[in-house]
Amino acid sequence: MKKNDIILLCSVLLIAAIAFFMGTVLLDGSGDTVVVAVNGAEYARLPLDENTELLIQAENGTNKLIIKDGEAYITEASCPDKICVKTGKVTEMRSVVCLPNKVTVTLEKGD
Amino acid sequence: MKKSFYGILALIISLSLCLPLASCGKRLKKYTSTYFEHFDTYATLTLFASSSEEYKTLDSIFKSELEKYHQLLDIYNQYENVVNLYTVNASAGTEAVAVSDELFDFISQAVHTHKITNGYTSISIGAVTSVWKQALNTHTLPDEDILAEAAKHIDISHIILDSTNKTVTLTDSKMSLDAGALGKGYAADKIGNALRDAGCESFLLDLGGNLKAHGYKPDGSPWLGGIRDPNELEGSLDLSINISDRALSTSGSYHRGFELDGTVYHHIISPYTLRPENIFSSVSVICRDSYVSDALSTALFSMSLEDGQMLIASIENAEAVWIFADGKIVTTDGITPTT
């Protein structure tokens, strides 16, 4: 009886621990995410803490996205006005938008 | 004694099991929609909703309202069963046009805005802006004679409003209305009201740089709007402003323009000099309504700093940030710049 109690207790604790772990790790997904959308549809999701390059193949042209040292910005665009390049780095308050190519780059804060 | 100990333990464990699940069930999720078909710019809605069904309902309201105001204030196209600014312009110099209550309300407000901004934000400037629009598209300066001729047809007093019959008459056949400096802000307010009435408690609207936010985020933090020095000079300003239940609009020379012999020609045309001014590289206004922030940022952009400061002081709870072409920054007292 006493032994069974302990087994029961241990297994309940184990399940609780697993559930807690799953809850915190899976739901949190901490870290900021760079979200690229073309004409409103999600095109790519990239972690801000991983240096990378992405050539966005949009409807009317291309935009080159760079993620470097925790900053994301567009370095090249096929459009004539280059406003997206001039906008600079993406922040939570400011998305980078390329109107001719219908591209938006936004920053999603991790929890 | 032992039994109750295990009972309490079991209770604690089951509660701790439920905790993450409970917060998960109530968790509000962030959703974003972007459209590119309206007001010649982008339109983004970011909101928090408890389910994707709720989001879809709100998104369809967003899209249909966006469509509605885009059509109503469009000066280039006519739509079936819609009397819009195009209709009013097409009837210039001929007859009174019966318009919807909403269009009448918009034009009345715009005439009032012309008065309080001393004509710097004017709905009647269409004849001049259309000359510049052509110039900006072809990257060539407009002919001075054509510009001077167009300037004879921007008199606000040639808009006759009949509030009893809800009609608008343009008495000058060569004049035309242009909602470019007002339409997005007006639409942002109306769309915001529709979303709020539909029960959306927390959202941020961005109509081509006209931001309007309602409520706070689920974690209690405010929606933020950003102002950055477009010159990107060393140590330049990068300001984040609480815009929950407020609106932020920025007018800048870095949009839709071209450069010729070292001068930037952009889309904000001063009604006095008939050309784009380059005192500032951008001016931002923060206040309650998006219509007002949109209208004022345009006006302030072409005015001297002193005139702009006087105008902004006359508007309740309005703040402004002027960024000069050389990088100098001036703000109203309610704003603390952080560099």
Query: Mind listing the pLDDT tens digit for each residue in B236-274?
Result: 667 889 999 999 999 988 766 788 888 888 999 999 999
Task: Out of A43-57, B6-20, B42-56, B81-95, pick the least confident.
Answer: B6-20
Contact B20 A95 (CB under 8 A): no
Q: Do residue B255 and residue A106 have CB atoms under 8 angstroms apart? A: no
**Do B148 and B236 lie in a common domain?**
no
**What is the extent of the structural domain holding A47?**
33-108
CB contact under 8 A, B17 and A99: no
Is B44 close to A5, i.e. CB distance below 8 A? no
Pairwise CA distance, residues B160 & B152, whole Å: 17
Contact across the interface for B42 and A93, Cβ inside 8 Å: no
- What's the pLDDT band for B176 if we cut at 50, 70, 90? very high
Task: Establish if B146 belongs to a structural domain.
Answer: yes
**Both B209 and B322 in a single domain?**
yes
**A29 near B CB under 8 A:** no
Neighbour tally for B280: CB within 10 Å: 26
Three-state helix/strand/coil letters over B43-112: EEEEEEECCHHHHHHHHHHHHHHHHHHHHHCCCCCCECCECCHHHHHHCCCCCCEECCHHHHHHHHHHHH
Q: Rounded to whole angstroms, what are the CA distances from B138 to B66, B134, B141, B180?
A: 29, 6, 9, 19
Same domain, B187 and B165: no
B-chain CB neighbours of A107 within 8 Å are none
- Chain centroid to CA A95: 13
Same domain, A25 and A42: no
What does pLDDT average to over chain B? 90
By the 8 A CB rule, do B17 and A12 touch? no
The residue whose two tokens read 């006359």 is B314
Mutate to test the interface with B, among A10, A24, A93 (most CBs of B within 10 A): A93
pLDDT of residue A9: 76
Instruction: Tally the domains of chain A.
Output: 2
Q: So what's the ipTM on this one?
A: 0.72
User: Which residue matches tokens 């980078």?
Assistant: A96
Predicted local confidence at residue B264, as pLDDT: 85
Indicate if the pLDDT at residue A24 is higher than 60.
no
Check CB contact of A78 with chain B, cutoff 8 Å: no
- At B113, is the secondary structure helix, strand, or coil? helix
Q: Are residues B57 and B202 in the same domain?
A: yes
Report whether B266 contacts B280 (CB < 8 A).
no
Question: What pLDDT, on the 0 to 100 scale, is given for residue A1?
Answer: 60
Q: Give the SS3 label for residue B250.
A: strand
Most B CBs within 10 A among A94, A105, A106, A108, hence the mutation to make, goes to A94
Total count of domains within chain B: 2
Chain B residues whose C-beta sits inside 8 Å of any chain A C-beta: 6, 9-10, 13, 16-17, 19-21, 24, 27, 30, 32-36, 41-42, 44, 206, 224-226, 228, 230, 232, 238, 240, 254-256
Place of tokens 């071209």: B258
Taking CA atoms, B272 is separated from B53, B268, B322, in Å, by 51, 12, 20
Q: What is the CATH number of the domain that holds B151?
A: 1.10.3980.10
Q: Do A86 and B230 touch (CB under 8 A)?
A: yes
pLDDT tens sequence across B263-310: 888 999 999 999 999 999 999 999 999 999 999 999 999 999 999 999
In a domain, B176, yes or no: no
For residue range B25-63, list pLDDT tens digits in order.
458 999 999 999 999 999 999 999 999 999 999 999 999
Same structural domain for residues A21 and A66? no
Name which of B32, B228, B238 is nearest A106 (Cβ-Cβ): B32
Q: Give CA separation, A63 vs A44, A91, A93, in Å.
A: 13, 18, 21
Q: Do B232 and B200 sit in the same domain of this protein? A: yes
Query: B62-80 as b/e, with b when 16 or more CB fall inside 10 Å?
Result: bbebbebbbbbbbbeeeee
Q: pLDDT of A40-87, one tens digit each? A: 899 999 999 999 999 999 988 999 999 999 999 999 999 887 888 888
List the CATH number of the domain containing A48.
2.60.320.10
- Candidates B225, B216, B202, B221; CA nearest to A111 is B221
Minimum distance, in Å, between the CA of residue A40 and any CA atom of chain B: 4
Q: What's residue A16's pLDDT?
A: 72
**Looking at beta carbons, which residues of chain B come within 8 Å of A15?**
17
Q: Let me know whether A84 and A55 are in one domain.
A: yes
Residues of B in contact with A104 (CB under 8 A): 34, 42, 44
Q: Assess whether B222 and B319 both reside in one domain.
A: yes
Query: Do B125 and B237 belong to one domain?
Result: no
Assess if residue B108 is contained within a domain: yes
The pLDDT, as a whole number, for residue A3 is 80
Residue B128 structural domain: 85-170
Classify residue B41: in a domain, yes or no: yes
